[in-house]
Chain A
């Protein structure tokens, strides 16, 4: 009987110990899992604690800092005189590729100056719309007039907008000239006139209308340039034409060296 009692007691003790060690193992496993989850969250930047504490500082470990300000770049168009001198010396030394590169910079400099001059010549306001100085643009690829684009936007700060673009693009220009030289083209689509020839200050032009984009008036300037007006929410054709007349087209042609 004694032996039976002792063996039952021993078995009970063994079971208790097994249960205790199982609980201990479970706790350890839980702790390990938590630690692993936290480290993964930290690495991914999704840790709740980190997010909560880092709100307002905007830098959480592992993520990149965001730029909040800076003076930007200083506008420095290429120096024309300096680049011409460089092109000359490189040419004399027989370094044609370097001379070419300097010359292209000089050309870029001149084009940027022309662009700025044209922007200055444009009115401060057209048809009650004020210029949006922030949107002024002069871009050039330095590959001849092909890439020169000068853009000015006028807006009433609401829905009405006029964009004037002076661009040099021989391909586009030839397409417009095709319209102008072939007066026999059908000018109606489904009984509705979407585009037609017109004149702006004595210059032949093409005016188009599209329900979603509004009015577009294209005026070829000489051999390789053109002036494009895009009017959004203009009442009618007459209003756009009046706005177009506010631009000194002859002056622009002169500045671009166009006849």
Chain B
């Protein structure tokens, strides 16, 4: 009970801190713009974007399942970063599952430079089907996705990598030591539509 209470307090404090940052930068953006200092205004807006990305990331983490099959989420290792727009990247969210040899990882990246090449891959189906049979185009919750299989050279077990481009957001789901059916079953527990709405 104490733990839940302290977690709630930490979350509330974080939210208040984010809101303070947002408001402070909003005031700065407005006053700089009014004074004709456009580059300062622009910089303050970039900071606001950073705050927003962090808030969106936190909301997305709430949507992700806390368990995938037998794998429990490592909530303490949750990672969400709002980079503003520097370098073209915006939002970054990561959650990992499991602690042994078998793990799963969900990565959500906004404005990823990979999206263009992935979309090209999905729109040209003959490219999407790798000649070696390790890559194929599939559908997950109605979204086209690229599934890639790799064999671990040491253990000879299979790792899977599922990439789902959602407009300007890329969801990557990786599972080690698994089978295709299991990856797809787990992937179906990720609320892709809601993530797309929040991250775009």
A117 within 8 A of B: yes
Residues in chain B near residue A103, CB distance under 8 A: 45, 48-49, 52
Query: Does A107 lie within 8 Å of B38, measured CB to CB?
Result: no
Range for the number of chain A residues in contact with chain B: 20 to 34
Query: Does B42 lie within 8 Å of A110, measured CB to CB?
Result: yes
Query: Does B56 lie within 8 Å of A97, measured CB to CB?
Result: yes
| CA gap between A80 and B33 in the complex, in Å | 9
Query: Taking chain A's interface residues, is the majority helix, strand, or loop, or is none over half, making it mixed?
Result: helix
Residues in chain A near residue B38, CB distance under 8 A: 110, 113-114, 117, 255
Residues in chain B near residue A146, CB distance under 8 A: 85, 87-88
Query: Does A91 lie within 8 Å of B52, measured CB to CB?
Result: yes
Surface stretch bound by B, among A28-36, A81-89, A126-134: A81-89
A247 within 8 A of B: no
| CA gap between A26 and B87 in the complex, in Å | 77
B182 within 8 A of A: no
Chain B contacts with A in 40-72, Cβ cutoff 8 A: 40-43, 45-46, 48-49, 52-53, 55-56, 59
Nearest A-chain residue to B85, judged by Cβ = A144
Residues in chain B near residue A87, CB distance under 8 A: 26, 48
Residues in chain B near residue A256, CB distance under 8 A: 39
Chain B 16-43: CB-based contact to A (< 8 A → 1; otherwise 0): 0000001000100110010000111111
Nearest A-chain residue to B197, judged by Cβ = A97
Query: Does A257 lie within 8 Å of B39, measured CB to CB?
Result: yes
Q: Kindly identify which residue among A81, A91, A97 contacts B22, using a CB–CB cutoff of 8 Å.
A: A91
| CA gap between A179 and B85 in the complex, in Å | 26
Chain B contacts with A in 67-101, Cβ cutoff 8 A: 84-88
A164 within 8 A of B: no
Query: Taking chain B's interface residues, is the majority helix, strand, or loop, or is none over half, making it mixed?
Result: helix
| CA gap between A185 and B1 in the complex, in Å | 65
Chain A contacts with B in 221-259, Cβ cutoff 8 A: 255-257
Q: Kindly identify which residue among A91, A96, A101, A110 contacts B41, using a CB–CB cutoff of 8 Å.
A: A110
Residues in chain A near residue B86, CB distance under 8 A: 144
B176 within 8 A of A: no
Given contact pairs A110-B33, A114-B38, A96 touches B59 in the complex (Cβ within 8 A) = yes
| CA gap between A186 and B138 in the complex, in Å | 50
Question: Which of B29, B53, B55 has the largest count of A CB atoms less than 10 A from its CB?
Answer: B29
Chain A 48-84: CB-based contact to B (< 8 A → 1; otherwise 0): 0000000000000000000000000000000011001
Query: Does A114 lie within 8 Å of B42, measured CB to CB?
Result: yes
Question: Which of B30, B41, B45 has the largest count of A CB atoms less than 10 A from its CB?
Answer: B45
A42 within 8 A of B: no
Nearest B-chain residue to A99, judged by Cβ = B52
A170 within 8 A of B: yes
Distance in Å: Cβ of B33 to nearest Cβ of chain A:
6
A161 within 8 A of B: no
| CA gap between A106 and B29 in the complex, in Å | 10
Residues in chain A near residue B111, CB distance under 8 A: 143
Question: Which of A87, A100, A103, A143 has the largest count of B CB atoms less than 10 A from its CB?
Answer: A100
Chain A contacts with B in 126-154, Cβ cutoff 8 A: 143-144, 146
Distance in Å: Cβ of A4 to nearest Cβ of chain B:
81
B200 within 8 A of A: yes
- List the 4 closest A-B pairs by CB distance, nearest first: A257-B39, A144-B85, A96-B56, A100-B52
Q: Which residues of A contact B (CB under 8 A)?
A: 80-81, 84, 87-88, 91, 96-97, 99-101, 103-104, 106-107, 110-111, 113-114, 117, 143-144, 146, 170, 255-257
Identify 16 residue pairs between A and B in the complex whose beta-carbon atoms are under 8 Å apart, listed by A's number.
A80-B41, A84-B30, A84-B45, A91-B22, A91-B52, A97-B197, A97-B199, A101-B200, A103-B48, A106-B29, A110-B33, A111-B42, A114-B38, A144-B84, A144-B86, A170-B87
Q: Which residues of B contact A (CB under 8 A)?
A: 22, 26, 29-30, 33, 38-43, 45-46, 48-49, 52-53, 55-56, 59, 84-88, 111, 197-200
